[in-house]
Structure 1
């Protein structure tokens, strides 16, 4: 993925052939990108264990690739605020303790509500930026995985949580009409708590590290 983003940046810089549109306060930039989401998903702590997890049990969440839209407002020439729109779906499977691949959480659908403040730097044909902000992870859907249903699990819930995000990237104008190519990397710092129930009884509660890398590449339009 890192090699792909580097190649895309190289190709984009090669096609820059006309002056970039001047940046102004009040500008809005829309981005349509393909996004690679790579969370951790490991167990940080077992809080409640009513099912007798084997010693050393750990889990991981699968990666995903999804479309994303970003909307950015320039407060000044070199400062902007940005939010993203998109969802990503993940399973959480055992990697140790339980048989590898045992599905713990199935089809968890995440809305990673994210707002960042960004500082931009003008290097001529390339405009890098850095940013930071907050995120609220909202689980729109989650259910007990097939691997724990035989243990009596009837429901699995992941907690919505607040977290922190760091961001860096580059915007590369391709003409003076506002169109460009964009590359972006975010690292989130956020956890979640999994609660598994058998009927109304809480039988398992575990804290999980998410901390996903979110890497995006696509096109932009500024107006």
Structure 2
């Protein structure tokens, strides 16, 4: 489902490359209000420290989150814009495989500071776009889950990390006063290091893929 949304958006945008470029004005600003689903992975890809003795087949996943978000976009050229987003998303980390059912991390808050450069195409009232850019994930507020606490963990930290985002979407003009509909999909490529401490000792340290899909739909206003 996640991959399908992104592939469809990309296919429409690439199909539009033969169409005329959108006649935006340099200096135009577009603000978008979205309902957004943040769908991370969260699996372990490396165990760096393990004094707990994780059983074979231990794995993790991160929960999905659904939040309101805002995107602000500035057109630096008629068909090229820069966009940033504003949102924070809460997630839990749960055990899978041999750890199935274990609550490991509760209420980790992610602030995905992201800037993408976007290229817009014109298909009449429908304007697909492609984008890409850097992202820095600030992660804070994480609490020790009951499953980790039962193993003697007293503190947990998820590292802030630099990553990258790919983007595809559609802007659909609703009227001549700047109102539109927008559908957007991003795929982030970013990880994090989870450090579980028992007092002053690092009991477990693992590398995780976050790599979330971020899928949004909402209204846009351009002025």
User: TM-score surpassing 0.5?
Assistant: yes
Residue 197 (str. 1) matches residue 197 (str. 2)? yes
Deviation track 1:157-202 (CA, whole Å, cap 9, x = no partner) reads 0000000100000000100100000000000000000000011110
Describe the SS at the equivalent of 2:150. helix
State how far apart, in whole Å, the 1-side matches of 2:64 and 2:101 are: 14
Residue 28 (str. 1) matches residue 24 (str. 2)? no
State how far apart, in whole Å, the 2-side matches of 1:87 and 1:101 are: 26
Aligned residue pair count: 207
Question: In the TM superposition, what are the counterparts of 1:147-186 in structure 2 within 5 Å?
Answer: 147-186=147-186
Q: Look up the match of 2:79.
A: 78
State how far apart, in whole Å, the 2-side matches of 1:190 and 1:123 are: 33
| TM superposition shift of 1:140 | 2.4
| TM superposition shift of 1:69 | 0.2
Question: In the TM superposition, what are the counterparts of 1:58-137 in structure 2 within 5 Å?
Answer: 58-98=59-99, 100-137=100-137
State how far apart, in whole Å, the 2-side matches of 1:73 and 1:156 are: 39
State how far apart, in whole Å, the 2-side matches of 1:67 and 1:200 are: 38
Q: Look up the match of 1:17.
A: none
Question: In the TM superposition, what are the counterparts of 1:135-150 in structure 2 within 5 Å?
Answer: 135-150=135-150
Q: Look up the match of 1:214.
A: 214
Residue 55 (str. 1) matches residue 56 (str. 2)? yes
Alpha carbon RMSD of aligned pairs, Å?
A: 1.7
Q: Is residue 121–residue 128 contact of structure 2 (8 Å, CA) maintained in 1?
A: yes
Q: Is residue 93–residue 103 contact of structure 2 (8 Å, CA) maintained in 1?
A: yes
| TM superposition shift of 1:22 | 5.3
Describe the SS at the equivalent of 2:143. strand
| TM superposition shift of 1:64 | 1.0
Runs of 5+ in structure 2 lacking a partner?
10-21
Give TM-score scaled by structure 2 length.
Answer: 0.90
State how far apart, in whole Å, the 1-side matches of 2:101 and 2:180 are: 41
Describe the SS at the equivalent of 2:146. coil
State how far apart, in whole Å, the 2-side matches of 1:67 and 1:36 are: 9
Moved over 3 A (4+): none
Runs of 5+ in structure 1 lacking a partner?
10-20
Describe the SS at the equivalent of 1:29. strand
Describe the SS at the equivalent of 1:147. helix
